[in-house]
């Protein structure tokens, strides 16, 4: 595996990532509120993500543990999961959306 593992590789080593992906993919902006903030719904997900991959991993030992504990693993999972969320709508974050999009594109 190279320095940047794929989400699929990580999910094979840490299957709970698939559940997190399903949860993130199920989040919808139904338009019923006056705004939708992707960052607000991301916060609890990222806390759980940090327990599964990256330097702050708190999960029991698994196959590929040395990969799961890297910052590259966290970044790969972060990029994959954050793209599953709907964009912000009419919240304060909207003005930062072009910056977020550019950062995600640069890391691809």
Write the pLDDT tens digit of every residue in 34-86.
999 998 899 899 999 999 999 999 876 766 688 999 999 999 999 999 999 99
Q: Answer whether residue 100 shows pLDDT above 90.
A: no
What are the backbone angles phi and psi of residue 75, rounded to the nearest 5°? -60, -45
Report pLDDT for 1: 44
**DSSP H helices in 30-70:** 38-52, 65-68
94 falls in which pLDDT band (50, 70, 90)? Answer: low
51 found inside a domain: yes
Report pLDDT for 2: 52
92 found inside a domain: yes
90 found inside a domain: yes
> What is the reported pTM?
0.78
1 found inside a domain: no
Domain count of the fold of the chain: 1
Name the residue range of residue 17's domain. Answer: 7-107
Report whether 67 contacts 13 (CB < 8 A): yes
Q: Answer whether residue 25 shows pLDDT above 80.
A: yes
Residues with Cβ within 8 Å of residue 54, at least 6 apart in sequence: 68, 69, 70, 71, 73, 74, 77
Q: Could you give the CA distance from residue 13 to residue 89 in angstroms, rounded to a whole number?
A: 35
Report whether 35 contacts 90 (CB < 8 A): yes
Q: Answer whether residue 16 shows pLDDT above 90.
A: yes
Q: Could you give the CA distance from residue 5 to residue 7 in angstroms, rounded to a whole number?
A: 7
């Amino acid at each position: 595996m190279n320095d940047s593992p794929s989400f699929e590789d990580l999910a094979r080593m840490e299957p709970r990532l698939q559940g997190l992906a399903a949860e993130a993919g199920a989040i919808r902006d139904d338009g019923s509120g006056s705004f939708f903030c992707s960052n607000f719904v991301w916060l609890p997900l990222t806390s759980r993500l940090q327990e599964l991959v990256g330097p702050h991993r708190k999960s029991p030992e698994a196959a590929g543990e040395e990969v799961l504990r890297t910052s590259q693993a966290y970044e790969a999972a972060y990029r994959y999961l954050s793209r599953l969320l709907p964009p912000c709508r009419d919240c304060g974050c909207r003005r930062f959306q072009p910056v977020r999009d550019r950062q995600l594109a640069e890391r691809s």
